[in-house]
Structure 1
């Protein structure tokens, strides 16, 4: 672990940041094993690398190549531009440990998107793969297939960008600009909003992130706007989220200035004190390869507290901010054992992509307690102390 890397990041009071991995090749998204084993060499999480690899990371943070050469084309490496394509979304099927992965491919000079399901006996190396859905029109310039998630109904949900054809987002007979809902074998569930149609919601532009909130069993997504109005939306069946045109339609929250929101996750597993329960953490990528810190423009993770009905935002705070001089920027993000993990796509100059972990710092617990609002959270001090004792952070 490199302490030098952590010097490039500011973190919320009462927390610490640890450098877990480096040398990754454009690590896009992170997916944790729901119930990891106890052995050092048991898989802990998986990472998609944009240009055709999936890495399996074990409990001892050893990195294994789970799959490689997944692309049937040579990426242009142009950022921003046609190099923003490849292997992107990933989630773990909780019963089998199989992976659902979204990616692009070429067919007769056409760019298309698909989701594949991979299997492995040991979780370290892929044994087989089968296509779940394919033949989705796409583009190499962002706006493509992205997050894949499994809902509480055990159905597969897939985020599809508009492929650069904005008008298709309103056409329910076209899969672009949509959230799709599928059975895990790729068939269409009988109870989908549109009969014999995988479309679950429409009117989206470039929906990168997706996460399920356990307290209301709804999918929340991040969606990138054209020049303004990047947003967070709560997805409902039949939902029309306004694109092309009004990016604020159906939105829970939006940014007036573009931030490029990518992955996101709710704190709902007890990794942080109870006052952070159900807070939404969102990676704001910012400008591609923009070096150094940019005030108010991406290169950070934000913490958003929703109201009880999840219809509005109660609070918004910076949680992690990049302070270095390189092109580093958060991309993937997921809660796992003991904290919040995120991928830094570009890393410091020459270091390659990184994985970091943010957790409560026992030496800075007083900072966290002092930050608490006793009026808003009665018993804040007591609850944090009790939480810290239950986690073995304090005696």
Structure 2
């Protein structure tokens, strides 16, 4: 069981433990359009040593599938116990799961992708192999993230299996991102005809996510003892390993951070100022205790229009004394969710109880009154340069008329000024809005703000 007091998060957000009792929870994936039934599935969590758990809308945890590995995993972390069942995603149309895992074939450890089906979403009823026979290792560099792209194709991250030269060999699927249809066939429009290889030259690509604003795949890649990176993956791209880690890198950590899962803030789950920001879990070394300057945190990146990162902030940081660290990461109902692989345990080598946490915006409420009359009230205001901007639908426009003055902002352009008339008294140019705000401020188009001192403006936070 976790301890939320051991996690710090960005101002304006809160952390909750929403589910616990997991055994080494790695990744999680949300049902795209969950039912409102309290017993219906909300998300699925992979457990490293052979199970998938389902969390329902009432935050109950159930076993979806167990005994998925055909070998006994040894609890040696770091070491031979670092692999098993890892990647997971939900097929949007059927609700089937795609899961990456290892299996033993004779004396060899191999990787595969399995598609599972459930009649009710709560318990696996059948499974079929999508692709298998990929040489692997039990020491971390295995088959990793799996995603369904906007083209309804399956994308699979495969690490180099400890054989770095394999990353450049087209006939070897290690060190690649593979592209298949949902049944395992090679699409006709792949970069190389007849090959599932979509991109090559990867060392250990753990996480993968899709960015809606450009329709592209982004991955996190672990370097050897330096140069962990985030990269944008293009069809046929070669990312350089084993010669270099930096080819096509969008962002480079010079020293080891061990980035795992990553996700973009999309669909308005976070406030507008965070929309399209990239969030990356930095796991660090296994069982590293206490706070650490380079890892055990989630960072937030803003990506530039021409590529690269224009801002970088710590968003969540572990500040306790234990080995807890974020691993899986995904946006879902009401916030950003992450798994804590190790949990809060007493000693190294002891198997802890993992948890799932949610980071969500603190509810905000703002009002603006004059002479006891409510002019505007909203839970969804925007804050720009310390001014509160109310959505137009939250304003009682019967008290407003267009003003005669002018106001120009270097980024937001020309403002429309507004007079306010209440109980026979008019306050001239007491409010303003921007009909055509400039780049980076488009989200406040038509929103109304008030001059300080002209009205009784109050903002509150709850939660």
TM-score by length of 1: 0.92
The match for 2:334 is 338
1:23 CA displacement: 1.8
The match for 2:425 is none
Alpha-carbon contact 1:206-1:223 (below 8 Å) kept:
yes
For residues 85-104 of structure 1, the aligned pairs below 5 Å read: 85-104=83-102
1:385 CA displacement: 9.7
CA RMSD of aligned residues (A): 2.4
Listed as ranges, the gaps of 5+ residues in structure 2 are 347-351, 367-378, 388-410, 412-438, 450-460
Alpha-carbon contact 1:14-1:364 (below 8 Å) kept:
no
For residues 119-130 of structure 1, the aligned pairs below 5 Å read: 119-130=117-128
The match for 1:70 is 68
Once residues 364 and 352 of structure 1 are traced to their aligned partners in structure 2, the CA distance between those partners, rounded to angstroms, is: 37
The match for 1:262 is 260
- 3-state SS, counterpart of residue 16 of structure 2: strand
The match for 1:320 is 316
Alpha-carbon contact 1:158-1:181 (below 8 Å) kept:
yes
- 1:105 pairs with one of 85, 103, 106: 103
Query: Structure 1 or 2: larger helix share?
Result: 1
Q: Does 1:302 align with 2:299?
A: yes
TM-score by length of 2: 0.79
- 3-state SS, counterpart of residue 226 of structure 2: coil
Q: Deviations over 1:116-150 (max 9, x none)?
A: 00000100000000000000000000111000000
The match for 2:172 is 174
The match for 2:354 is 353
- 3-state SS, counterpart of residue 256 of structure 1: strand
Once residues 177 and 146 of structure 2 are traced to their aligned partners in structure 1, the CA distance between those partners, rounded to angstroms, is: 10
The match for 1:278 is 276
CA pair 372-168 structure 1, distance change in 2 beyond 3 A: farther
The match for 1:390 is none
1:362 CA displacement: 2.5
The match for 1:144 is 142
Once residues 223 and 188 of structure 1 are traced to their aligned partners in structure 2, the CA distance between those partners, rounded to angstroms, is: 24
1:243 CA displacement: 0.1
For residues 1-395 of structure 1, the aligned pairs below 5 Å read: 5-295=3-293, 297-309=294-306, 311-349=307-345, 352-362=353-363, 378=441
Structure 1's consecutive aligned runs of 4 or more residues displaced over 2 angstroms after TM superposition are 362-366, 368-386
Once residues 337 and 106 of structure 2 are traced to their aligned partners in structure 1, the CA distance between those partners, rounded to angstroms, is: 39
1:269 CA displacement: 1.7
Computing the radius of gyration from Cα coordinates, the structure with the larger value is: 2
Higher RCO (C-alpha under 8 Å, 6+ residues apart): 1
Listed as ranges, the gaps of 5+ residues in structure 1 are 387-392
CA pair 371-328 structure 1, distance change in 2 beyond 3 A: farther
Q: Deviations over 1:285-317 (max 9, x none)?
A: 01100111112x2100000100124x1111000
Query: Structure 1 or 2: larger strand share?
Result: 2
CA pair 384-230 structure 1, distance change in 2 beyond 3 A: farther
Once residues 334 and 31 of structure 1 are traced to their aligned partners in structure 2, the CA distance between those partners, rounded to angstroms, is: 7
Alpha-carbon contact 1:178-1:202 (below 8 Å) kept:
yes
Alpha-carbon contact 2:19-2:55 (below 8 Å) kept:
no
Q: Deviations over 1:353-389 (max 9, x none)?
A: 01100011126999x9779688795588999999xxx
Once residues 146 and 74 of structure 2 are traced to their aligned partners in structure 1, the CA distance between those partners, rounded to angstroms, is: 24
Alpha-carbon contact 1:373-1:380 (below 8 Å) kept:
no
Once residues 217 and 135 of structure 2 are traced to their aligned partners in structure 1, the CA distance between those partners, rounded to angstroms, is: 24
CA pair 248-226 structure 1, distance change in 2 beyond 3 A: same
